[in-house]
């Protein structure tokens, strides 16, 4: 998935995402060191990690997202390296104390093999004792919550109509979103199609262990509690021992 014009409106649409809670979660386990922020998007999380004193490297597959992230870092006076990479091919990166894949970015991988390869690449990129943090949509969210579309958003200068349908795999969803962006007195219309896929908690845990990780915790919805049948976002913390 390569975000197109969506990159230009991403930050406004993600205003309600609790990035600070994500940072607090990571900082509760590691207080310093080098972080690789995979699928960094427009760099919000990378910036927050840098502000806390971490040495951050930001990576994303989307050139459009990285352009915005680079501008963000420059304006903040932060020296954060930016890499254009797929999360399942880290090209020999190593020496990190933590790797993050935030805000369901892992769900953009289509196949089990890609997820498994990503876990192997992350394991190789980490130092001994390094931490891996990521979150994913639950099966319940993909199979039930997302199927209640259409969803509509009407902001001051951005509006969208968001339709969903089952994707090409089990526990996958196709998002068809039509945006209306105000440009002067007129609105520009453009469309984006995104597909996401998730897997059962037990599958993720098994693939982490197969890659060499020890699963430290599996929690849901920023509660710190174990997932239940209606949890929507699942958080994994694994460690390279």
Domain with 167 in it: what CATH number? 2.20.25.110
| Residue 177 lies in domain | 141-196
> What is the CA 77 to chain-centroid distance, rounded?
24
Please state the domain count of the chain. Answer: 2
pLDDT higher than 70, residue 7: no
CATH of the domain at 60: 3.40.50.150
Task: Give the separation between CA 63 and CA 83, rounded to whole angstroms.
Answer: 9
- 98 inside domain: yes
> How sure is the predictor about 2, in pLDDT bands with cuts at 50, 70 and 90?
very low
Task: Give the separation between CA 196 and CA 175, rounded to whole angstroms.
Answer: 8
CB-based contact 134:40 (threshold 8 Å):
no
pLDDT higher than 60, residue 4: no
pLDDT of amino acid 5:
56
> pTM of this prediction?
0.93
> Residue 27's closest CA among 106, 103, 131, 105?
131
pLDDT of amino acid 184:
84
CA angle at residue 213 from 128 to 240, to 5 degrees? 10
pLDDT of amino acid 108:
95
> Phi first, then psi: what are they for 143, rounded to 5°?
-80, -25
Q: Are residues 94 and 169 in the same domain?
A: no
């Amino acid at each position: 998935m390569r975000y197109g014009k969506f990159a230009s409106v991403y930050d406004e649409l993600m205003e309600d995402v609790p990035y600070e809670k994500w940072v607090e979660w990571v900082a509760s386990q590691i207080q310093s060191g080098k972080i690789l922020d995979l699928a960094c998007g427009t760099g919000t999380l990378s910036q927050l990690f840098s502000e806390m004193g971490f040495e951050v490297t930001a990576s994303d597959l989307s050139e459009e997202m990285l352009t915005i992230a680079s501008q963000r870092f420059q304006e903040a006076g932060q020296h954060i390296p930016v890499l254009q990479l797929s999360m399942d091919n880290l090209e020999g990166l190593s020496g990190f104390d933590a790797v993050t894949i935030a805000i369901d970015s892992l769900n953009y991988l289509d196949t089990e093999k890609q997820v498994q390869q990503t876990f192997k690449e992350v394991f190789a990129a980490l130092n001994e004792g390094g931490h891996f943090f990521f979150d994913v949509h639950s099966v319940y969210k993909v199979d039930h919550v997302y199927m209640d579309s259409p969803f509509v958003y009407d902001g001051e200068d951005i509006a969208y109509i968001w339709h969903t349908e089952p994707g090409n795999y089990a526990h996958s969803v196709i998002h068809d979103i039509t945006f209306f962006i105000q440009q002067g007195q007129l609105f520009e219309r453009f469309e984006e199609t995104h597909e996401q896929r998730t897997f059962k908690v037990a599958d993720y845990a098994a693939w982490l262990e197969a890659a060499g990780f020890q699963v430290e915790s599996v929690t849901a919805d920023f509660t710190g509690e174990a997932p239940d049948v209606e949890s929507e976002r699942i958080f994994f913390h694994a460690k390279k021992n």
